[in-house]
Amino acid sequence: MDKKKRLVLIGGGGHCGSVLDAARGMNRFEEIVITDPDIEAGSEYMGCRVAGADEMLSRLFQDGFGMAFISVGSITSTRLRKELCQKAKEAGFDFPNIIDPSAEVSEYAMVGKGIFIGKNAVVNAGARIGDMAIINTGAVVEHGCRIGAFSHVSVGAVMCGDSKTGDSVFVGANATVIQGVRIGMNSIIGAGSVVLKDVGPDSMFYRSGGVKFKNAFPTDMEQWFWGSSVKLLRSWDGRMEAC
């Protein structure tokens, strides 16, 4: 069997379900297995065999699997995705792009490797998508945009024309980044935010109830905004910064 038609999905969580559904719809792969340390080896996930933990990667490559895909999602950190990518590279795997058949990707867009483009997403002419990026369900990446490696444009988010992200950026669900705006590397844009101006690296931008905060980090990442109230935000030097 052709190695390029045998795929290992690394990570069996919720994002894996979206990836697996798209991969099957592509009708490109003849065999798909999953590695995940938290799922029992030999069991099935959505009809796919779980081969074992990530330590199985080298053996799977030797057994004739040539393609791997990081099916772990990311919000606050891309560290795990990067570590798993490195493990797969060291084992010898190549990385396909998984693009759902319902997505619209311009032939004039440029995409790297290991990219996921979900259902009904749009990537328009002149856009460039970096390696291992996620363009999730219904997201729009307009003409001339640049999406950095390992960045995640979440469900329903819109990157307007010529906007850019650095590497490892998270743009939350239904957020809008206005035309030409730049988001620095390692930054987080909160769900539903409208970003009108550039956001620096290592920043958090969140708009809630008409109040905007930038360059701010929550003291507890499990706690966010509820309605128009703002909770537990602290800027780089401990001051709350409204903009």
SS3 assignment, position 54: helix
Do 10 and 87 lie in a common domain? yes
> Residue 94 has what pLDDT?
97
> Residue 243 has what pLDDT?
32
SS3 assignment, position 192: coil
Q: How many domains does the chain have?
A: 2
pTM of the model: 0.86
Among 70, 101, 99, CA closest to 86: 70
Q: Which residues of the chain have pLDDT under 70?
A: 208-243
The terminus-to-terminus CA distance of the chain in angstroms comes to 58
> Is 217 inside a domain boundary?
no
Count CB atoms within 10 A of the CB of residue 122: 18
Phi and psi at 19, nearest 5°, equal: -65, -45
CB under 8 A, 24+ apart: contacts of 73-76: 73/13, 73/14, 73/15, 73/134, 73/152, 74/134, 74/150, 74/152, 74/170, 75/152, 75/154, 75/170, 75/188, 76/170, 76/188, 76/221
Domain holding 183, by residue range, is: 97-202
> Residue 214 has what pLDDT?
59
Do 71 and 158 lie in a common domain? no
> Is 212 inside a domain boundary?
no
Do 128 and 180 lie in a common domain? yes
The CATH number of whichever domain residue 11 belongs to comes to 3.40.50.20
Do 195 and 114 lie in a common domain? yes
> Is 241 inside a domain boundary?
no
Residue 58 to residue 93: CA distance in whole angstroms: 9
> Is 154 inside a domain boundary?
yes
